[in-house]
């Protein structure tokens, strides 16, 4: 498996860029109903105590070439002219509609790009297929999961495939329900076979020997003995904890926020555990990213402004 272990080096997102706008909340909470790693994150605050929504949107924009295009479509290193041309092409693949509570975003593009950012920076799993470049026009829906990532797990001697589900909703519970329904449909319709096919037909990186190693992981479209299926779920939602910040307090804003977050986190995990408890596919593994927002609508609009 030496060749397949090379996939890990294709991660493009810098951990430093992640750390510049998103923080990690350390906790010992866990899911009991199935195998799941729960990761709690929050937006960092600027010097005036404002959550860094705009900075995150801008940082995601800086990675749209990596997100949208395979290595075959871009040279390394890129000249300034090449970068501008590719960035223009990448922007044209997004629909970036104007979003309000009454006119929600049905594209999911901001959340899908954020999930790409998280999977690469936190899990260290590089994107395997650049689905955006497969669209024939910006109005196309990308079928299947919200992202295909891969990682060689040296400890378990197995290749971890991560299929993404990005759900940004006003209500956290609705985001959870939507993610689980999508994952159940993904397996009921055997969509994973389509995704595995894409992994070899539209492999993102140029090395043919690694592509061949990926192809050899499957047996008639089914995962072989060296493949483990994981679902990476981004659960983003509006949270009123941002409204409880007292800017006149001597307690730093970040500390106030973490105090409120620590109180509510067990409720979130218990709700997810309850929903997972009713989920039939216990053999699957999950990585769940919780990120509360002041407003998911505002985040989506900031992302679209960055694209414009």
Q: What is the pLDDT along the chain (308 residues), one digit of tens a residue?
A: 568 888 899 999 999 999 999 999 999 999 999 999 999 999 999 999 999 999 999 999 999 999 999 887 666 778 888 888 999 999 989 876 565 555 555 568 999 999 999 999 999 999 999 999 887 665 666 678 999 999 999 999 999 999 999 999 999 999 999 999 999 999 999 999 889 888 878 888 766 777 788 888 888 888 889 999 999 999 999 999 999 999 999 999 999 999 999 999 999 999 999 999 999 999 999 999 999 999 999 999 999 999 98
For the entire predicted model, the pTM comes to: 0.93
Task: Write down the pLDDT at residue 134.
Answer: 85
Query: Rounded to whole angstroms, how far apart are CA atoms 121 and 62?
Result: 14
* Angle of the 172-188 helix axis to the 191-201 helix axis, nearest 10: 80
If one counts the domains in the chain, the total is 1
Query: Rounded to whole angstroms, how far apart are CA atoms 240 and 242?
Result: 5
Domain that holds residue 285: 4-307
* Cα-based distances in Å from 143 to 43, 168, 173, 296, 305: 29, 18, 24, 23, 25
Q: Where are the alpha helices (DSSP H) in the chain?
A: 15-21, 53-61, 64-68, 80-93, 109-118, 172-188, 191-201, 208-215, 253-277, 296-307
Task: Write down the pLDDT at residue 106.
Answer: 56
* Angle of the 296-307 helix axis to the 109-118 helix axis, nearest 10: 90
Query: Rounded to whole angstroms, how far apart are CA atoms 231 and 288?
Result: 8
Report the number of secondary-structure helices (H) and strands (E) in the chain. Answer: 10, 8
Task: Write down the pLDDT at residue 9.
Answer: 92
């Amino acid at each position: 498996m030496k060749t397949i272990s090379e996939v890990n080096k294709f991660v493009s997102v810098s951990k430093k860029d992640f750390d510049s706008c998103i923080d990690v909340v350390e906790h010992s909470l866990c899911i009991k109903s199935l195998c799941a790693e729960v990761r709690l994150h929050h937006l960092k605050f600027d010097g005036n105590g404002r959550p860094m929504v705009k900075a995150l949107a801008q940082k995601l924009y800086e990675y749209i070439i990596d997100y949208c295009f395979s290595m075959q479509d871009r040279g390394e290193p890129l000249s300034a002219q090449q970068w501008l041309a590719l960035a223009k092409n990448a922007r044209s693949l997004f629909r970036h509609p104007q979003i309000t509570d009454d006119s929600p975003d049905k594209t999911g593009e901001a959340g899908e790009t954020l999930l790409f950012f998280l999977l690469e920076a936190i899990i260290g799993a590089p994107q395997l297929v650049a689905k955006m470049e497969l669209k024939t026009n910006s109005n196309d829906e990308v079928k299947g999961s919200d992202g295909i990532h891969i990682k060689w797990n040296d400890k378990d001697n197995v290749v971890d495939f991560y299929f993404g589900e990005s759900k940004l909703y006003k209500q956290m519970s609705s985001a959870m329900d939507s993610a689980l329904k999508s994952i159940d449909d993904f397996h009921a319709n055997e969509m994973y076979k389509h995704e595995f096919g894409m992994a070899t037909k539209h492999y993102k990186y140029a090395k043919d020997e690694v592509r061949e190693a990926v192809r050899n992981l499957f047996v008639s479209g089914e995962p072989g003995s060296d493949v483990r299926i994981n679902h990476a779920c981004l659960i983003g939602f509006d949270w009123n904890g941002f409204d409880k910040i007292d800017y006149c307090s001597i307690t730093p804003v970040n500390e106030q926020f973490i105090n409120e977050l620590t109180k509510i986190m067990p409720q979130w995990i218990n709700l997810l555990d309850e929903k997972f408890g009713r989920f039939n596919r216990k053999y699957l593994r999950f990585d769940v990213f919780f990120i509360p927002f002041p407003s998911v609508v505002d985040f989506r609009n900031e992302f679209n402004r960055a694209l414009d």
